[in-house]
Amino acid sequence: MTMARPGGRTARVRAAVVRAVGDALVEHGLAGVDLADVARRAGVGKTTVYRRWGTVAAAVAELVDDMVETSVPRAATGDLESDLRANAELVRSTLADPRQGRLLTALIGAARADERTAAALRRFYDARVREWEPCVAEAVSRGELPAGTDPAEVVRAVSAPLYYRLLTHGELPTEAARDRAVAAALAAARAGVYVV
Amino acid sequence: MTMARPGGRTARVRAAVVRAVGDALVEHGLAGVDLADVARRAGVGKTTVYRRWGTVAAAVAELVDDMVETSVPRAATGDLESDLRANAELVRSTLADPRQGRLLTALIGAARADERTAAALRRFYDARVREWEPCVAEAVSRGELPAGTDPAEVVRAVSAPLYYRLLTHGELPTEAARDRAVAAALAAARAGVYVV
DNA sequence: TAGCAAACGGGACCGTTGTTCCGTTAGTCT
DNA sequence: AGACTAACGGAACAACGGTCCCGTTTGCTA
């Protein structure tokens, strides 16, 4: 009988290759990744990698698929500013972390050239935003923000300046930048900019 | 006697190669660029490209160097909101343009892996920001914004959300997003978030 | 306008990536 | 437990990117 074989060796090979793709991305960036090198790093036959993935883009997309699964629980203090700061600090420390930061920026570049990677990355960010939306939604129902405020938009407004500086200027986000991002998102939200 | 030869054939070759690098970036993204292909596109000997640039990174960096030179003059209506909207519209239309948008995002990815490209890209964005700073500075001196407001920070605040959505979600910025970006930057600036 | 050197280009060469073939290993099912 | 088959891996091969050599072009300078 014919069946899928998700367990055992296959899974081990998959994990080793996905990890190796991540390492290669962190070290050389997307342009420096080739599957022969990935196979060597993973301690896996070159043939296997080419058979199962075939292209760098497909392997990278699978890496992002994995990242979507790993969830980081949010803080919920009940105070909007504290919650947004906790979110901003999570983003800041992720971007400032040598491995995570390089990985994310490499993936952002990869997504522009491969639709499957782009779709996976969208799911990744959507999941993060959805995790933090309730903080804002509760603040709206408490009356701290105008009724009709779009919670997702507020959460994204916190991340945007941190990503922007990193991607256009290569600057790792500082604590000051984090606090300014929170203050700006809060001021805009209170002014009703994110009311749908 | 030994001399530099900036004119004539050398300049033509340089221009053709730089253009070809841009085309290749737009089509395949950074990972898909190789100098043999660039030489073919440019109608230039492969040897020439390898001798003068040697690596993809060096050729890309030279492309960005060129982009720094080309300046786009700003509008200055004397009204802060109009000026910021004009700036936002410039950013929006640039990012939404198939060639320019792809090129910029590819360069953002390239900058992470090559310091010379990163430096050139920093100069590029610094020049754009500096071009628009006066609009904000005048608004500050007119008293529309709190004294001590950092003009550059306000200008960057307008761009950030547009770039963020494009890079993380692949969404081309809409007119609505443009206006929201302006409104958010304005609200934050008025609240004194960007006071140094 | 004549000569000279810098820069270009063709072509051969080499190493590495990507492909194919086939034998081996190891989960799965009876 | 034994057999069946999907998946892995080594090895040979092909294709292409990157390097080198040397003759040719081109545009500066006198």
Question: The domain spanning residue A59 has which CATH number?
Answer: 1.10.10.60
- Indicate yes or no: CB of B111 within 8 angstroms of CB of A170: yes
Q: For residue A17, give the nucleotide whose C1' atom is nearest its CA.
A: D8
If one compares B73 and B135, the residue with the highest pLDDT of the two is B135
Residue B84 lies in a domain: yes
Do A61 and A84 share a domain, yes or no?
Answer: no
Asked if A61 and A119 sit in the same domain, the reply is: no
The pLDDT confidence band at residue B1, using thresholds 50, 70 and 90, is very low
Q: Which residue has 């990278």 as its token pair?
A: A60
Residue B1 included in any domain: no
B chain contacts of residue A174, beta-carbon cutoff 8 Å:
none
Using the beta-carbon criterion (under 8 Å), do B194 and A188 form an inter-chain contact? no
CA of B60 to C1' of D24 (A): 29
CA distance B126 to B47: 35
Tens-digit pLDDT profile for residues A10-62: 889 999 999 999 999 999 999 999 999 999 999 999 999 999 999 999 999 99
- B59 in contact with A at a CB cutoff of 8 Å? no
| B134-154 average pLDDT score | 97
Q: Answer yes or no: do A34 and A86 share one domain.
A: no
Is A169 (CB) below 7 Å from strand C?
no
Mean per-residue pLDDT of chain B: 93
* Higher pLDDT, residue A3 or A60: A60
Q: Does residue B100 share a domain with residue B56?
A: no
Give the largest Cα separation in chain A, rounded: 64
Asked if residue B166 and residue B122 are part of one domain, the reply reads yes
Rounded distance, CA B73 to CA A126, Å?
Answer: 37
Same domain, A44 and A101: no
Q: Which CATH number is B85's domain given?
A: 1.10.357.10
With bands split at pLDDT 50, 70 and 90, how would you rate the model's confidence at A78?
confident
Long-range contacts of B4-9 (CB under 8 A, 24+ apart): none
pLDDT of residue B74: 87
Distances (CA, A) of A87 to A64, A82, A94: 21, 9, 11
Q: How many Cα atoms occupy the beta-carbon half-sphere of A3 within 13 Å?
A: 4
- Residue that is last in its domain, among A45, A67, A89: A67
Q: Are residues A177 and A84 in the same domain?
A: yes
Q: Could you say which of B112, B161, B190 has the minimum Cβ distance to residue A29?
A: B112
Domain count, chain B: 2
Residue B149 lies inside a defined structural domain of this protein: yes
The nt closest to A38 (CA vs C1′) is C17
Burial environment of residue A61 by CB neighbours within 10 A (0 to 12, 13 to 18, 19 or more): buried
Whether B196 is covered by a domain: the verdict is no
Statement: residue B5 has pLDDT above 60: no
B51, B67, B83 - which closes a domain? B67
Same structural domain, A109 and A146? yes
Q: Is A96 within the bounds of a domain?
A: yes
* Mean pLDDT, rounded, for A176-184: 98
Residue A195 lies in a domain: no
What size, in residues, is chain A?
A: 196
- Does residue A80 sit in the same domain as residue A44? no
Smallest CA–CA distance, residue A8 to chain B, in Å, is 33
Residue B80 sits in the same domain as residue B123: yes
Q: Taking CB atoms and an 8 Å limit, are B33 and A31 in contact across chains?
A: yes
**Pick from A16, A47, A67: which residue ends a domain?**
A67
How is residue A146 annotated by DSSP?
A: -
> Residue A84: which domain range?
73-190
Position A81 in a domain = yes
Mean pLDDT along residues A69-93: 92
| Statement to judge: residues B22 and B85 lie in one domain | no
pLDDT given for residue B4 in this prediction: 45
Do residues A48 and A101 both lie within one domain? no
C-alpha torsion sign, points B49, B53, B56, B62: negative
Whether residue B195 lies inside any domain: the answer is no
